[in-house]
């Protein structure tokens, strides 16, 4: 039997993680999965409650917040499954999620990373993700396929290559990581799954989407509220992604565009919205890239 290791990361969201575990318990066969919760620097330890719901749970606690990549990497090191399924703790699966994903991987050995259709939990007929377009490396922009469309089954038969997987739900083979490696912890938050997909592509593996199954994501449709931490890491990591995944010439022209136009626009919008506290974090995000190597683990932000 092929075992799937389900890995999720918790940071101060015990109620959300409890709902996640209940969903996994209800929609999986225990003998076919192992569930790993990585508690990523949370203030309180809720392992007793988690194990009341899922007694077989593998619980890993980090005393510090290692970020999305660092937390998942801890889970990878503990995982024994042939397949690894990374799920945000604010997701819920359906009856056939794991079997459909495994079947897709088994039918196509060339697939490196795979994501299902993602719908909004609070509005389950609205699509969040049905794939991504390829990246424009000069602007570091791409588009979500199907985003905000009403789900009428238009993607239910789709099984195709896509630009990138979605970090809320993605599956890979553990054996492929011997070549690809772990997630880059330099990012901490945002862009790490895109960077990982690039590493799979360089290993001649396909990035894949299937609409044959789905998950529900509790992220709000209105998500995107500006904050200091989001402004900093989105600014910093957009530039870092290009530095790590393109050559010097592309990085040079991207940097001109990014600093003169994209960051200037962000600063202007923050000023017009009266969010003056965000402006310095745009500068800090750019400055980090100018003063640190592309493989630096220095965050430049106190978590």
What lies within 8 Å, CB to CB, of 220 at 6+ separation is 120, 122
- For 255-290, the pLDDT digits (tens) are 999 999 999 999 999 999 999 999 999 999 999 999
Whether residue 298 lies inside any domain: the answer is no
User: Are residues 122 and 65 part of one domain?
Assistant: yes
Residue 226 has what pLDDT? 79
**Is 223 within the bounds of a domain?**
no
Please check whether residues 211 and 233 belong to one and the same domain. no
In this structure, the answer to whether residues 199 and 127 fall within a common structural domain is yes
Question: 73 and 193 share a domain?
Answer: yes
Tell whether the model's pLDDT for residue 148 goes beyond 90. yes
- Flag whether 34 is in a domain: yes
CATH code assigned at 177: 3.90.550.10
Domain coverage including residue 42: 4-217
Query: Does residue 220 register a pLDDT over 70?
Result: no
Structural domain includes residue 303: no
Structure tokens at 22: 């209940």
Instruction: Examine the domain organization and report whether 17 and 56 are in the same domain.
Output: yes
Given this model, what pLDDT does residue 254 score? 98
Q: Examine the fold and report which residue of 153, 182, 217 is the final residue of a domain before the chain moves on.
A: 217
Number of domains in the chain: 2
Same domain, 148 and 273: no
Q: Are residues 60 and 200 in the same domain?
A: yes
Write the DSSP string, 251-270: HHHHHHHIIIIIHHHHHHHH
Residues 171 and 276 in one domain: no
Confidence at residue 58, expressed as pLDDT on a 0 to 100 scale: 98
Is residue 229's pLDDT more than 90? yes
Q: SS3 letters for 19-88?
A: HHHHHHHHHCCHHHEEEEEEEECCCCCCHHHHHHHCCCCEEEEECCCCHHHHHHHHHHHHCCCCEEEEEC
Residues 211 and 239 in one domain: no
Percent of the chain with pLDDT over 70: 98
Mode of pairing for the β-strands spanning 159-161 and 206-217: antiparallel
The pLDDT confidence band at residue 221, using thresholds 50, 70 and 90, is low
Q: Pick the last residue of a domain from 184, 217, 250.
A: 217
């Amino acid at each position: 039997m092929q075992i799937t290791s389900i890995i999720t990361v918790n940071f101060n969201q015990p109620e959300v993680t409890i709902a996640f575990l209940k969903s996994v318990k209800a929609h999986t066969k225990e003998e076919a999965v192992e569930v790993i919760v990585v508690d990523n620097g949370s203030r309180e330890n809720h392992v007793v409650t988690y194990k009341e719901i899922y007694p077989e749970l593998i619980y890993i606690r980090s005393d510090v917040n290692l970020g999305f990549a660092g937390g998942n990497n801890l889970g990878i090191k503990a995982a024994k499954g042939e397949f690894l399924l990374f799920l945000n703790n604010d997701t819920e699966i359906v009856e056939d999620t794991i079997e459909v994903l495994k079947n897709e991987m088994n039918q196509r050995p060339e697939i490196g990373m795979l994501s299902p259709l993602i719908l909004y939990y609070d509005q389950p007929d609205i699509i969040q993700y049905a794939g991504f377009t390829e990246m424009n490396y000069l602007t570091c922009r791409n588009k979500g396929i199907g985003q905000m469309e009403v789900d009428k089954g238009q993607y239910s038969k789709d099984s195709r290559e896509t630009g990138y997987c979605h970090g809320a739900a993605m599956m890979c083979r553990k054996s492929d990581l011997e070549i690809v490696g772990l997630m880059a912890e330099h990012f901490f938050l945002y862009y790490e799954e895109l960077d990982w997909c690039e590493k799979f592509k360089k290993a001649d593996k396909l990035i894949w989407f299937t609409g044959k199954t789905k998950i529900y994501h509790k992220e709000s449709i209105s998500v995107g509220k500006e904050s200091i931490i989001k402004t900093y890491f989105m600014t910093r990591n957009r530039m870092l992604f290009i530095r790590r995944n393109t050559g010097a010439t592309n990085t040079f022209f991207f940097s001109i565009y990014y600093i003169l136009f994209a960051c200037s626009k962000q600063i202007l919008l923050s000023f017009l919205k009266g969010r003056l506290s965000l402006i310095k974090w745009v500068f800090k995000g750019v400055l980090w890239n100018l003063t640190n190597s592309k493989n630096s683990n220095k965050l430049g932000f106190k978590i």
